Structures are given as structure tokens and as C-alpha cells.
Amino acid sequence: MKKIIFLLGFISILLLTFIDGAVLAQAKKQQAKTTSKNVSCLRCHEQIAKVLPKNHKPVTGDTIASCNTCHRPDMSTKAEPKSYASTIHSGHAKEASNTDCMVCHTYTNNRFGLYKTNISFGKLKKEDLENIKNIFISWAQSKNMDAAHGKANIICSSCHDKKLPETGDAVENDRCLACHGPLDALQKRSEPKDFPDRNPHKSHLGDDIACTVCHHSHKPSTVYCLGCHGNFKMKIPGG
């Protein structure tokens, strides 16, 4: 009898170990899949109508899916303002502690998408997902150059094209000049009245110097010229 009891107990332990292992494996599998929380807008907003623009037509539903019915993401590569995406992001990135991308977005198998659409913005590493969140917070409320673009309804894709930004990415000069150029016109606008030869956009370094040497989007900008010419008085937006 004792042998039978011992054998049954041993079998029970094996079964429990197998079940716990299966549960753990399932939990790990779920960690790779972060879906939208589908949180109602009413969790924070008393009435949907109060956050809509004046004369906006009535909205049915209380999640981001209600907006996506009409407002499809602008997937164009044009460097231009995108008012809907900018308004949605700036409104929800003002408070860093409450910013949660997964209320509207999905993240499954390293692909970043939008809730209740078939749209995927592409592959994204988890660390880059967290970095983008922090960048959007800076874009919405900092004093850096990204916030200046935010006020003009310029979002990530207006500078980074279709590609999801990765940590360490840089923007090429042609992308900057799409809005701020052409170069000769930019040089004319930035020419100092008192010292025309101290034009930061027409220096002895030539036209090939990267805009990002001075203009940093997500951190304070710096005047590269002052590294050698400390007596120059130069200011830079976002610096």
C-alpha cells in the first residue's frame, strides 16, 4: 500500500511540474505579444464631444477605433504637417507618467501597428519602442527642436520617411531642405546684417556639413561654429 501511495504522489508531482511548465511557456509566449488595451476614451474624458473640434460630426464608440473609421493614418512620404496624427499624439504625450502607446497601438511579433486597422508601420525592437515613446514626450513638451516641429504638426514620418526611427538614426540634409530650403534661400535668410561672413549656413566648412551637426531634434541643439569661434554671438532654436 505504501508503495502505491508513494507512486501516486510521484505521478502527481510530475503532472504538476508539466502543467506549471506549460503555463510558464505560455506566459513567455504572451510576453512577445503586446496588443492594444482597447481602453475607452471615457476613462480620462468625461464626454467624447468635449475633446472634438468645433462642428465635428457625432462619433459612435469610445475607443481609437471610432476615430480610425474616418481618420486613416497618412502613410505618404511627404515632409509636411499631418494635423490628425499630431493632435492625437500631442494630446496624449503631455503627461509623461500617463503616456501609454498601447492604448491605441499594437505590438505583435516585433511589428508595430494601429488598433482595429490592418496597418503595420513595420518592425521595431522593443528598446526602440520605448525610445520612440520618450521621443514623443519630448516632441510634445520639451524645448528642443522636436517640440518646435510638434507645434507645426510635424510628426516622425515627416522627417524619417516611412521607416520607423531606430536609436541613433539621423536625418539627411535633403529631408531638412524639403521644408527649410532651397539652400541658397536658407543662406540668405540666415545672413547676419552686421557680419555677413558669419553665416552659419554658408561657412568655410562647405555645403556638405550635416544639418544635424548643429540641429539636434531630441536634445538641446548646439552652435558648432562656437567650438572654434568663441567670440561669435550666435543663437540657435532649441539650444
Among candidate residues 154, 142, 196, the one with its CA nearest the CA of residue 178: 154
Taking 80 as the threshold, does the pLDDT of residue 4 lie above it? Answer: no
Identify the bridge partners of residue 33 per DSSP, sorted by sequence position: 108
Tell me what pLDDT residue 15 has: 44
Distance CA 151, CA 193 (A): 29
pLDDT tens for residues 8-43?
A: 454 454 444 444 444 444 444 444 455 566 678 888
Q: What is the pLDDT of residues 145-174, one digit of tens each?
A: 999 999 999 998 889 887 788 878 889 999
Residue 214: pLDDT above 60? yes
Alpha helices in the chain (DSSP H): 2-31, 64-68, 83-92, 126-141, 145-151, 156-160, 173-180, 183-189
pTM here?
0.76
Q: For a pLDDT cut of 90, what percent of the chain falls above it?
A: 33
Closest C-alpha to 129, from 171, 162, 153, 100: 100
